[in-house]
């Protein structure tokens, strides 16, 4: 049963092939056997999972079960969970017990999903390798000496290693799509505002977006259906009807125009990764799609613009962790100033401090116009590039990452090299557009991803293209080798 996709498990539970209690117990046993090597989970909620599974079994027997009844999932440890630690993988929040559920958590539970626990991540979602966690790095199931990507690396590794049916993630500059690509699973970043951010610990508020990570496009459609929709608790939530994502999966691709941006197939792309992506594009062409060469001229400015905007918002959001109102407090402070200084110095890790310092600098008097305001203008140009391209094409296709998973420690001391890991994913966040990654090949035994970017609120079309691709390929069914 653990080799099945979420969609297959949901059907099996309804047929009575096995119970939610049996499925949950099987995953908990696998977590017990594999998590020490992977470090994917930071908290396992076995007791609560058992109770939720029993409730799901009762609902299935009573005929009033939700669409995800009995499906065991994991939540990235950035989502508040009532009565369960929400650490954001930081010493600063190591002892924080959330008093309520994030909207995403609440909606998935209402659909019947069973929470197995909370997954590891880069501290406060700042990282591209999952090496900045206070609880240590996550390891890639395909090669334990390599990173799973970040910041949702724990969620990605948990799904790829079969420790849960699916998981939630957040994507600020590619943190769902990049780890999905590096671990051979599927990940979707919805349109900004499509999924509520209420109860999600903020990193960069104008960029953060929650989304699903799973085995297949059909799985992601089921999960997004439960997660999406207006939330009055989130001022950035969009009040717009949610379509039936599963119903749109089977639409034919005949005549679909897929744009290939020249800037995403450049010299920085690993040749083997590029070949795998082009092979996937050829499959889409055989399904009836038409490939169109396009250009997104401001793409090269996306990484520098992102690393002004995101740290600026992070420095503001993380100002609340001062040892007084929230988070870790230093022992025996000499005075109030010492309390502030040592609480933040001891509570935050190096990457978080680096981004707070960058953000404070670019927002400071005398530099605001030169950096932050200019970055926001660049952001507008990047979005206008996409809007112009969508006048010619329906979907944009590109690699998700420039190379397969790199080795642990390989880029940890070179922040610029690390930041370039997200070079193909950041622009969609700056533009607020939906984008997903699906597995499209193996390079030296490691997974690579095909990225699809869509118009605002066009998640249904992205899922449709990904699903039709997965009907004629089996890359999403490949499993990481057991260690």
Question: Which parts of 269-351 are beta strand (E)?
Answer: 290-294
Distance from C-alpha of 119 to C-alpha of 408, rounded to nearest angstrom: 19
| Helix or strand (DSSP H, E) at 350 | helix 350-363
Give the residue numbers annotated as catalytic, written as ranges. Answer: 76, 151, 175
Question: Which parts of 163-317 are beta strand (E)?
Answer: 166-170, 186-189, 210-214, 257-261, 290-294
Q: Is 326 helix (H, G, I), strand (E, B) or coil?
A: coil
Q: Is 240 helix (H, G, I), strand (E, B) or coil?
A: coil
Burial (0-12, 13-18, 19+ Cβ within 10 Å), 17: middle
Distance from C-alpha of 82 to C-alpha of 106, rounded to nearest angstrom: 10
| Helix or strand (DSSP H, E) at 275 | helix 271-286
DSSP sequence for 9-46: HHHHHHHTSS-HHHHHHHHHHHHHHHHHHH--EEEE-H
Place of tokens 């990173």: 147
Longest pairwise C-alpha distance within the chain? 70
Cβ neighbours of residue 473 closer than 8 Å, sequence gap 6 or more: 280, 283, 440
Cβ neighbours of residue 271 closer than 8 Å, sequence gap 6 or more: none
**Distance between start and end Cα atoms, the chain:** 20
The CA radius of gyration of the chain, in Å to the nearest whole number, is: 21
**Paired residues of 117 in beta bridges:** 44, 74
Distance from C-alpha of 443 to C-alpha of 254, rounded to nearest angstrom: 30
């Amino acid at each position: 049963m653990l080799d099945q996709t979420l969609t297959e498990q949901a059907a099996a539970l309804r047929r009575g092939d096995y119970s939610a209690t049996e499925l949950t117990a099987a995953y908990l046993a696998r977590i017990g056997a594999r998590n020490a090597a992977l470090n994917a989970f930071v908290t396992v909620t076995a007791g609560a999972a058992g109770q939720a599974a029993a409730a799901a079994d009762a609902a299935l027997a009573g005929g009033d079960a939700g669409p995800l009844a009995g499906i065991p999932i994991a939540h990235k440890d950035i989502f508040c969970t009532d009565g369960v630690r929400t650490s954001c993988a930081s010493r600063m929040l190591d002892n924080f017990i959330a008093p309520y559920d994030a909207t995403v958590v609440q909606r998935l539970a209402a659909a019947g999903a069973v929470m197995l626990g909370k997954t590891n991540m880069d501290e406060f979602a700042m990282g591209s390798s999952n090496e900045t966690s206070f609880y240590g790095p996550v390891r890639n199931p395909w090669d334990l000496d390599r990173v799973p990507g970040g910041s949702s690396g724990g969620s990605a590794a948990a799904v790829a290693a079969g420790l849960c049916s699916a998981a939630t993630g957040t994507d600020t500059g590619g943190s769902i799509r990049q780890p999905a690509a590096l671990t051979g699973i599927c990940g979707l970043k919805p349109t900004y505002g499509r999924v509520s951010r209420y109860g999600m610990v903020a990193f960069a508020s104008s960029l953060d977006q929650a989304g699903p990570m799973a085995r297949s496009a059909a799985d992601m459609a089921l999960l997004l259906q439960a997660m999406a929709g207006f939330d009055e608790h989130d001022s950035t939530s969009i009040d717009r009807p949610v379509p039936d994502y599963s119903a749109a999966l089977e639409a034919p691709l005949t005549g679909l125009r897929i744009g290939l941006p020249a800037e995403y197939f450049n010299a920085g792309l690993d040749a083997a990764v590029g070949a795998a992506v082009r092979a996937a594009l050829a499959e889409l062409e055989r399904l009836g799609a038409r490939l169109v060469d396009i250009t997104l001229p401001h793409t090269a400015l996306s990484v520098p613009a992102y690393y002004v905007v995101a740290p600026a918002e992070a420095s503001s959001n993380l100002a609340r962790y001062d040892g007084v109102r929230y988070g870790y407090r230093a022992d025996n402070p000499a005075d109030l100033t010492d309390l502030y200084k040592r609480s933040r110095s001891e509570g935050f890790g190096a990457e978080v401090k680096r981004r707070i310092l960058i953000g404070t600098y670019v927002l400071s008097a005398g530099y605001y116009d030169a950096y932050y305001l200019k970055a926001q203008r660049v952001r507008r140009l990047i979005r206008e590039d996409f809007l112009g391209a969508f006048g010619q094409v329906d979907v944009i296709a590109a690699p998700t990452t420039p190379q397969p998973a790199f080795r642990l420690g390989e880029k940890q001391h070179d922040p610029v090299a690390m930041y370039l890991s997200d070079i193909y994913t950041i622009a969609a966040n700056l533009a607020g557009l939906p984008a997903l990654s699906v597995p499209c090949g193996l390079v030296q035994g490691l997974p690579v991803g095909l990225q699809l970017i869509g118009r605002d609120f066009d998640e249904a079309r992205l899922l449709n293209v990904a699903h039709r691709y997965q009907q004629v390929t089996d890359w999403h069914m490949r499993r990481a080798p057991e260690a």
